[in-house]
Every structure is written in structure tokens, then in C-alpha cells.
């Protein structure tokens, strides 16, 4: 699947990393409520506090690995003593805040990646419905276009910054690299350091050293 989406006066292409024959439907197994730590934004945390009457410290904690200090997803939902999400109803295997749960929970197992000049819609294959092969069709509560729109609108500054930095990096450096492995290693370094630490104009020495490392 692929298409185009308009955002703040600019048009971006998008595509899915999975084939058209891909199957997914929620089996309500609650597996994702146990193995993952969903992150959420401050406004989402405040909304949950308002509708539940809980204190923030009762259900959120600092996220393990925020992308950067500018990442709006600085928090994650806590697990209870048994290791599952504090909002999971263990009898029904349903979410007790289903209508108001965070965006990442609502759109699981899908995610979007900013890979200039495209937006790539990817999927977590750790989802039980996918990994087990029990999904018989492709069914979600949202369209792929709506998923992309909501995710980039909630992360507008980070999205535009990431696209701009990737564009600069590709135009100034990656075009001069013939080794695909060197490109990958360089980009991995940026991801590990965080977007706010990325200065493409100081990367010549790093790229040179990575090229040597990859060729060894």
C-alpha cells in the first residue's frame, strides 16, 4: 500500500513495509498489554488522570528510552505486580480505559518511521495475532491514512525536524557514500545519539572512520 499525505503545506509520500496480502486483526489476547511498555504524551497522561481520578504517579513512570529530550513521549504506563498494564481487566482481557487509551495503544501493532523522503508504516511482528498466524484478514479501527495523520500531527515538531535533518544528511553526505553498510552505520549512530545531538556539518570525520570500520 502507498499514497500521499499533505501536512502543513507539504506533500509526503508514504508506503507500508508489509505486502498487500498482510493480515492483522486484534484477537483481544492482551499479549501486548504484558510484553510492552506503551509510552504516552503529557496531555494523554493528564486526560487519563481526569477520567480515572488517579494520581499521575499511580499509573505512569519515566520512559525507558525517549528518542530525545524533545520527544513528547517522555512517560510510559506502569505495570502491576503481575507484570501487566495497570489498566488491563484480567477477567475480560479488555482495557479499562479503552476509549481514552494512548495513541500508541490504539494503533498497535503499527508504527510510522520517518525515512526521508517517505513515511514508512511498519508493524511489530511480536504481536501475537501476527506471529501466531491466527489473523485471517486485515482489519483495524482506522485507515492507514488516518494512522499517519494522527501520528504526525501529535508529533509535528519532531516529524518536521527529523525529515529536515535526514534530508540534509542525505544530500550532503550519504550521496557521496557508495557503501550501503557505511550509510546504515552512520544513520544508526544518529538514532542512538538522539535527534537533538545531530549536527550533519560535523560528521565528515565520523563518516570516514565508519567507512574504514565497515571495510575491515
Same domain assignment for residues 93 and 15: yes
100 close to 51: Cβ distance less than 8 angstroms: yes
pTM exceeds 0.75 for this model: no
Which pLDDT score is estimated for 200? 45
CA-to-CA separations, 98 to 41, 78, 101, 102, in angstroms, rounded? 17, 16, 5, 9
Which pLDDT score is estimated for 191? 52
Same domain assignment for residues 112 and 54: yes
Same domain assignment for residues 85 and 191: no
Query: Is residue 163, in this structure, part of any structural domain at all?
Result: no
Query: Is residue 34, in this structure, part of any structural domain at all?
Result: yes
Tell me which of 23-32, 33-42, 81-90 is least confident.
33-42
User: Which is higher by pLDDT, 77 or 8?
Assistant: 77
Same domain assignment for residues 117 and 177: no
Q: Give the dihedral sign, CA 97/103/107/109.
A: negative
At residue 189, does pLDDT exceed 70?
A: no
Same domain assignment for residues 132 and 200: no
Which pLDDT score is estimated for 203? 47
Average pLDDT over residues 79-96: 91
Average pLDDT over residues 138-165: 81
Same domain assignment for residues 45 and 136: yes
Which pLDDT score is estimated for 38? 86
- For cell 575491515, name the residue: 216
Average pLDDT value over all residues in the chain = 78
Domain range spanning residue 102?
Answer: 2-155
At residue 5, does pLDDT exceed 90?
A: no
134 close to 27: Cβ distance less than 8 angstroms: yes
Which pLDDT score is estimated for 176? 55
For the stretch 112-123, pLDDT in tens is 887 777 888 989
Average pLDDT over residues 56-61: 92
User: Which is higher by pLDDT, 210 or 94?
Assistant: 94
Q: Tell me which residue of 126, 104, 120, 96 sits closest to 5, measured CA to CA.
A: 120
At residue 49, does pLDDT exceed 90?
A: yes
Q: What is the domain count for the chain?
A: 2
51 close to 38: Cβ distance less than 8 angstroms: no
Same domain assignment for residues 56 and 92: yes
Query: Is residue 161, in this structure, part of any structural domain at all?
Result: no
Same domain assignment for residues 66 and 10: yes
Which pLDDT score is estimated for 175? 57
Amino acid at each position: 500500500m502507498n499514497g500521499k499525505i499533505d501536512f502543513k503545506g507539504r506533500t509526503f509520500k508514504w508506503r507500508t513495509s508489509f505486502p498487500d496480502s498482510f493480515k492483522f486483526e486484534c484477537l483481544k489476547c492482551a499479549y501486548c498489554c504484558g510484553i510492552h511498555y506503551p509510552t504516552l504524551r503529557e496531555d494523554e497522561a493528564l486526560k487519563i488522570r481526569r477520567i480515572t481520578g488517579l494520581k499521575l504517579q499511580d499509573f505512569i513512570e519515566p520512559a525507558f528510552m525517549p528518542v530525545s529530550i524533545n520527544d513528547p513521549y517522555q512517560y510510559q504506563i506502569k505495570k502491576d505486580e503481575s507484570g501487566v498494564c495497570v489498566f488491563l481487566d484480567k477477567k475480560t482481557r479488555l482495557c479499562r480505559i479503552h476509549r481514552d487509551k494512548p495513541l500508541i495503544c490504539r494503533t498497535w501493532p503499527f508504527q510510522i518511521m520517518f525515512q526521508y523522503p517517505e513515511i514508512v508504516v511498519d508493524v511489530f511482528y511480536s504481536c501475537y495475532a501476527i506471529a501466531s498466524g491466527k489473523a485471517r484478514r486485515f482489519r483495524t479501527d482506522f485507515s492507514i491514512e488516518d494512522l499517519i495523520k494522527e501520528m504526525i500531527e501529535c508529533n509535528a515538531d519532531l516529524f518536521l525536524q527529523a525529515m529536515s535533518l535526514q534530508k540534509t544528511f542525505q544530500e550532503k553526505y550519504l550521496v557521496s557514500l557508495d557503501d550501503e553498510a557505511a550509510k546504515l552505520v552512520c544513520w544508526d549512530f544518529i538514532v542512538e545519539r538522539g535527534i537533538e545531538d545531530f549536527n550533519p556539518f560535523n560528521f565528515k570525520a565520523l563518516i570516514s572512520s565508519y567507512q574504514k570500520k565497515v571495510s575491515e
